Amino acid sequence: MSGPKGARGRRFEGALDPIAAEVNASVGFDHRLLPHDVAGSIAHAQMLAAQGLITNADATAIVDGLRRVEHQLASGELAWDEALEDVHMNVEARLVEAIGDAGRRLHTGRSRNDQVATDLRLYALAAAEKLIDAIDGLRQALLVQARAHIDTLMPGYTHLQRAQPVRLAHHLLAYDAMLSRDRSRIADAAWRADESPLGSGALAGTTLPIDRDRTAQSLGFSDVTRNSLDAVGDRDFAIELVGACALVQVHLSRLGEELVLWSTQEFGFVKIGEAYCSGSSLMPQKMNPDLAELVRAKTGRVAGDWIALITIVKGLPLAYNKDLQETQEPLYDAVETVTACLAIARGMIASLVFDTKRMRAAIDAGHLVATELADYLVTKDVTFREAHDIAGHLVRIATERGVELAALDLKTLREAHPAFEADVAGWLDPVRAVDRRDLVGGPARQRVLAEIERIEQELR
């Protein structure tokens, strides 16, 4: 798999069938590897010179030439050539054109198999860093809104039915908890990608006295891979990263769904900034949450990328197979889609304007403090199951009268159970109800403030 004229070289007399050549070529997508391919080649050339496998003069010419070729290809000064199949052959062919025979020595002790494996790991590590930065950016946007709404109450939901009052800040921080786990998963995937396969050759290394540790250190890897067969055929790091991306997108989808719901007239909890909405081609009054909907929809795409990856790798014999070329597009698509959606979500969160009065009013309909009645009775030595039943009975009475629980008089409460006293009124205040949940992970004001400060410190 070497030679500046492509993988076929003089072994083959004729050219590939035109359609076969189009399917075979990967430069249309693996051009994304350009900076990583050049970095890997520079490290390889410098190692070859240090080992006496090429001259220092050739190494200098190769390094200078690679940097020029990278700039020319990245800037568009040189066009990508599909006839050269991939990013590796495009770079090498242009290098040979620029510096002559010295460029032909670059591939000494190397195969495109370990070359692409190295490039992809470098890409994955760089992508993980960008994803983590984007996640932290969204988390910061959530923190800003959470701090601004520490005293805003809203209904918490189960089954999309109003359940108990919570702080809006607490609700927003639930997404921070998801994103914190996402961040950890991406970092974990990057940790396993952090091994250099360079030097594994096509599948069995090389007889030449190369220095794998030197190239690994030059490229910033923490270690080298330990089995050449596995190293060239392994795409676990891509599968893990895309799997983590899929879960990020699931969480963004949940956020998008709530923004869609909350921005409806039926909820009326929030307005999304106009930069993230669009109008209707027919109805002039409409302002549709299109970006929240698209973020929600992209989950299918990223989950599909993960399914594609594991399906491609399933059942492949060792070591390298051309099938592995098909793992690249799902990797790039997942990373780029999630990175864009994180940026969109960050902007949307920053743009939100909450209708705090509407949220507060929603707490006062639906008997959201029913659990407080049960908890009150528990403090009076009533078993929880009995207390729960009594509270349910009182909900039925309040519903029949068309009032909320707080409007029931003490006489009615005592008819349900004699343990009720006048102090029960304080239990039915939503603010007090929230602040009584004063435990780690709870929505009490001081707990939420402490959590905001903890996350701010973590992000710093």
**For residue 63, what are the contacts with CB-CB under 8 A and spacing of at least 6?**
42, 45, 46
Tokens 């004063």 -> residue: 438
Q: What tokens does 141 get?
A: 């946007």
Q: Which of 44, 159, 218, 351 is catalytic?
A: 159
| 270 and 255 Cβ atoms separated by less than 8 Å | no
- Residue labelled with tokens 């590590």: 125
Q: Where are the beta strands (DSSP E) in 327-452?
A: 353-354
**Is 367 marked active-site?**
no
Single-letter code of the amino acid located at 77: E
User: Rounded to whole angstroms, how far apart are CA atoms 405 and 420?
Assistant: 13
Give the position of tokens 């496998």: 53
- The helix/strand/coil state of 37 is helix
Sequence-distant (≥ 6) Cβ neighbours of residue 77 within 8 angstroms: 71
Q: Whole-angstrom Cα distance, residue 26 to residue 6?
A: 12
Cβ–Cβ < 8 Å for 69, 6: no
SS3 at position 317:
coil
Give yes or no: 393 in active site. Answer: no
Asked if 256 contacts 277 with a C-beta cutoff of 8 angstroms, the reply is no
Q: Which of 88, 111, 280, 388 is catalytic?
A: 280
Name the residues annotated as catalytic. Answer: 159, 280
